[in-house]
Amino acid sequence: MEAIIQSLSIVFGPMSLILIVIATAFGMICGALPGLGPSMAIILLLPFTYEMDPIVGIIVLVAVNVGAQAGGSISAILLRVPGTSSAIATTFDGYPMALQGKAGRALGLAMTASAFGSIFSALAMLVCAPLLAKVALRFQSAEYFALSLLGLSCISSLGSKNQVKALLSACLGLLLSTVGLDAINGVERFTFGQSFLYSGIDYIPVMIGAYAIAEVYVNISEKCSGKPEVSHVEKNASFEFIKIKDVIKNWWVYLKSSIIGTVVGIIPAAGGSIAAFIAYSEAVRSSKTPEKFGTGIEEGIIAPEASNNGAVGGSMVPTLTLGIPGSPTAAIIMAAFMLHGLTPGPLLLSQQPEMLYSIFIGIIVSSLLMLVLGKYISIEFSKILKLPYPLLAVLIMVLGVVGAYSLRNSFTDVLILFAFSFVGYFFNKFKYSTSAFVLGLILGEIAENSMRKQLIVNDGSWMGFITRPISLVVIIISLMAFFGPMIKQHKENKSNKIIAE
Amino acid sequence: MKRLLVLLLSAIMVFSLAACSKGAEEKPSGEQTQTGDTKELDYPKRAIEIVVPFGAGGSADSMTRTAANLMGNYIDKPINVINKAGGGGVDGMVYVAQAPADGYTILQITPSHSIAEALERPNASLTGDFEPIANFQKDIQVFGVSKDSKFKTIDELLEYAKANPGELKIGGTSPGGLDDYMANGFAEAAGVEITYVPYNSAAETKAAVLGGEIDIYQDKVLSFNTMVKSGEVRPLVVLHNERLTMVEELKDTPCTVEKGINFTQGSWRGFAVKKGTPQEIKDYLEEVIEKVYNSKEYRAIADKEMSDIIPGYVGQKEYGEMWKSEVAKFKEILVK
């Protein structure tokens, strides 16, 4: 109890409150700009925390992370440019919803879901961190593989109109994920002796190219062909607060996605982007109207946003209890602990219980702040939309190029960006699925490596995937999620035929 | 008005593209300054760039940032640290090899670079394309097991490994990298067979050993020690020629040499420049780095981070010899 009061006084001190406000806003802005993800935002702020009280310093960094995960949705919704990799799934329904003239509502939903997700994960962290840490260790290679399979199973729901083309796109993504040095034996694959292909094709430039730049091409070709403008994001998008009534209506989606996010966040190898995909595919699977996903449906924004922010609190669990960072971002936060001479782990929790409480309160405060700040920051961002389209197009291209370049400070990534912008454009044109392609590219690597690792540790036996309970359950769920939409469509086709006859 | 804005913005776009390929364009101007070099050392005239060929936040990156920060006390020009990750350190190496040999672009190096050379990766010749400045940090590797493991000492572990060849699994990051070399080199010296399982990050390796997927955990002293402190991991052996008596948690852990296993290896982190850089510049940089290494500020940081348990500084000449012997060692174990 004493520790709680002490941590309350730390978090609600005037200086630390101001710092949390600044950190959250800074995180949101960095999140919204592609190329400046949560990790970069934290690295930029890290030097400023050296002189702070250790607890305040850590809270500031956690607040940046909370803000950045949510900020990624702003550009995803308004420009179809996912600001962070965990906001890719948000573009599926966020951008179509903005095209319908409901950008403000989409932003409101994203912020509310993000806040819900982080508050939920903070609660989970506080109540059962040691227990959750045990759960985290149950996830080994077999479970990683099962989880990536679950993420991939969402392919069949992404391409509900043309599943064959969606499958083909995903296979292409999987194929490209094998380019580079193979992570098990170090063998070169498809590198053609080019050293820039050694580290493989990074999904961030691919993603920015195939979504954002391709969208620019689509708009330009529409304008040049003199077609009447089909649809556009409204120019005066204003942030819409979501009523509690509406939250309650969709409470199950909020809660389920936050749980998925928290659990996936705890696992060291998987982060917010995989959490978002899994939550999205689960929302599609359990929906009564799965065919509406991808057209701008509310659940399609809530699920990925609640779960990618759920991963924030989740990733802090193994960091604090075991000293194992749950995500690359958490690894940097852990480095901050070390700089202050603190060693995360069970010892720290028993010696300094106020640390856990302060982080918990810090996440809640910054999540609530996010709702308020979200209004102002997204209004500022939506001003960009008032620009005439040629200017907006140039701006998107610049943001895209900078985002791709800053990833590794390499011009190769800019070339990859442009190469895949054409892929994205033609995928759109011929109704292949860009999302399935990107999904294959992101998850292919984890799926392949974890499967091969499991085979190594099990001396070549495949039984591990079935005999480990968590792996078995997740594999069954993913098979259901994969074949469900296909069987349903098959049945519908049949009944349609009968009616036609 | 509108046209003007369009023009302006497309100009910005073109510039941002041009800025990206700056490295290539700067080349001729850089060469000019080099040819105009006089006998008196006129260096540095502008900002120096240190290229870290790994991602931000790693041990190589934090070492370089600390060193660059302190180098600022001796050099009045800015020292910029940039990350060029990719290709296991090769991408950054290629970048520096393409820059002029004028001492304004310094490469931060680790054993990954000697390994890339040993494996004959294209464009990766550390001894062929670069010249040493100085080494700055040396690390020691420790092997251990999870606290729930049945192995209490290294002898028990080796006995089991001899009876069951290939059954024990050891984790590490990157295949064909330093961890792989250390696992295989240790096993060979000890006369046992263990299976190496590569993970993407140290965090995953830790989770794998605590979750029981692998049997042996290996890490650098600093990160290993945090796991020992929290009671999660039991240290078994230090890959060094003497016990680390200065580290509280590891003072009772035997080292490989006293156990009759003739294998010691650790990571190291230092600096290099492109071959052909004037000797005076190399001497100047070596001197600055030595000053930084011996400075009070660095001593304080090193004590806190335990990054200088064994003296890390190696001067130009010895460093060059060290490169050659490292490459030869890696060739022997990794190229079969």
pLDDT digits (tens, 9 = 90+) for A390-446: 888 898 898 889 888 877 778 888 999 999 999 999 998 898 888 889 888 988 988
Q: What's the pLDDT at A326?
A: 81
Give the torsion sign (CA, A210, A212, A213, A218).
positive
Cα within 13 Å of Cα(B260), Cβ side: 5
**Is pLDDT of B25 > 50?**
no
CA-nearest residue to A333 within chain B is B57
Q: What's the pLDDT at B18?
A: 54
Domain with CATH 3.40.190.150 in chain B: 43-139+267-334
**What is the Cα–Cα distance from B114 to B315, expressed in whole angstroms?**
18
CB contact under 8 A, B199 and A453: yes
Decide: A100 and A218 in contact? Cβ < 8 Å: no
**What is the Cα–Cα distance from A275 to A271, expressed in whole angstroms?**
6
Q: What's the pLDDT at B33?
A: 42
Q: What's the pLDDT at B36?
A: 42
Cα angle at A457 between A452 and A463, to 5 degrees?
Answer: 80
Decide: B323 and B132 in contact? Cβ < 8 Å: yes
Q: What's the pLDDT at A242?
A: 83
- Which residues are registered as beta bridge partners of B83? B52
For B47, phi then psi, to 5°, come to: -65, 145
Q: What is the pLDDT of residues A207-241, one digit of tens each?
A: 889 988 998 898 888 888 876 555 567 666 678 88
Q: What is the pLDDT of residues A279-325, one digit of tens each?
A: 988 888 788 887 788 888 999 999 999 999 999 889 888 888 888 88
Q: What's the pLDDT at B34?
A: 43
CA-nearest residue to B197 within chain A is A453
Range in A43-47, A76-80, A433-437, B320-324 the model is least confident about: A43-47
- pLDDT interval class at B313 (50, 70, 90): very high
Contacts of A183 in chain B (CB under 8 A): 174-175, 198, 200
Decide: A42 and A30 in contact? Cβ < 8 Å: no
- pLDDT interval class at B13 (50, 70, 90): low
Q: Residue A94, exposed/middle/buried by CB under 10 A (0-12, 13-18, 19+)? A: buried
- Which CATH superfamily, name and number, covers B43-139+267-334? Bordetella uptake gene, domain 1 (3.40.190.150)
Decide: B193 and B187 in contact? Cβ < 8 Å: yes
Contacts of B115 in chain A (CB under 8 A): none
Tokens 């109207």 locate to: A289
Model pTM?
Answer: 0.81
- pLDDT interval class at B291 (50, 70, 90): very high
**Is pLDDT of A119 > 90?**
yes
Q: What percent of chain A has pLDDT over 70?
A: 96
- Which residues are registered as beta bridge partners of B234? B145
Q: What's the pLDDT at A259?
A: 93
- For residue A411, give the nearest of B20, B85, B232 by CB distance: B20
- For residue A138, give the nearest of B6, B211, B230 by CB distance: B211
Torsion, CA A119, CA A120, CA A124, CA A125, rounded to 10: -30
User: For the residues B213-231, what does the mean pLDDT come to?
Assistant: 87
Q: What's the pLDDT at B5?
A: 62
- pLDDT interval class at B246 (50, 70, 90): confident
Q: What is the pLDDT of residues A434-457, one digit of tens each?
A: 888 988 898 898 899 999 999 999
**What is the Cα–Cα distance from A57 to A65, expressed in whole angstroms?**
13
Q: What's the pLDDT at B22?
A: 43
**Is pLDDT of A36 > 50?**
yes
CB contact under 8 A, B21 and A411: yes
Q: Which of B129, B106, B101 is nearest to B37 (CA)?
A: B101
Range in A142-156, A329-343, B16-30, B120-134 the model is least confident about: B16-30
- For residue B20, give the nearest of A138, A323, A401 by CB distance: A401
Could you write out the DSSP letters of every residue in B149-178?
A: -S--SHHHHHHHHHHSTTTSEEEEESTTSH
User: For the residues B32-44, what does the mean pLDDT come to?
Assistant: 58
| Chain A nearest CA to B280, separation (Å) | 30
Interface test with B, best of A30, A453, A458, A468 (most B CBs within 10 A): A453
Q: How many CB atoms lie within 10 A of CB A23?
A: 29
User: For the residues B42-48, what does the mean pLDDT come to?
Assistant: 89
Supply the ipTM of this predicted assembly. 0.80
- For residue A198, give the nearest of B90, B200, B211 by CB distance: B90
Decide: A122 and A313 in contact? Cβ < 8 Å: yes
Range in A40-49, A136-145, A473-482 the model is least confident about: A40-49
CB contact under 8 A, A139 and B211: yes
Output DSSP code: residue A325.
-
B20-53 burial code (b ≥16 CB/10 A, e <16): beebeeeeeeeeeebeeeeeeeebbeeebbbbbb
- pLDDT interval class at A353 (50, 70, 90): confident
Q: What is the pLDDT of residues A2-27, one digit of tens each?
A: 888 888 888 888 889 999 999 999 99
User: For the residues B213-239, what does the mean pLDDT come to?
Assistant: 89
CB contact under 8 A, A397 and B13: yes
User: For the residues A53-65, what does the mean pLDDT come to?
Assistant: 91
For B29, phi then psi, to 5°, come to: -65, -35
**What is the Cα–Cα distance from B135 to B269, expressed in whole angstroms?**
6
- 3-class secondary structure, A298: helix
- pLDDT interval class at A131 (50, 70, 90): confident
- pLDDT interval class at B240 (50, 70, 90): very high
Q: Which residue would you say has higher pLDDT here, B176 or A150? A: A150
Pairing of strands B79-83, B48-52: parallel
Q: What's the pLDDT at B39?
A: 54
Q: What's the pLDDT at B31?
A: 41
Range in A179-193, A255-269, B257-271 the model is least confident about: A179-193
Q: What's the pLDDT at A336?
A: 83
**Is pLDDT of B12 > 60?**
yes
Q: Which of A2, A15, A35, A38 is nearest to A332 (CA)?
A: A38
- pLDDT interval class at B9 (50, 70, 90): low
| Average pLDDT, rounded, for chain B | 85
- pLDDT interval class at B38 (50, 70, 90): very low
Q: Residue A192, exposed/middle/buried by CB under 10 A (0-12, 13-18, 19+)? A: exposed
Q: What's the pLDDT at B222?
A: 78
Structure tokens at B199: 């993970």
| Chain A nearest CA to B41, separation (Å) | 31
Q: What's the pLDDT at A343?
A: 76
| CATH class as words, domain B141-259 | alpha beta
| Average pLDDT, rounded, for chain A | 86
Q: What is the pLDDT of residues B195-212, one digit of tens each?
A: 999 888 778 888 899 988
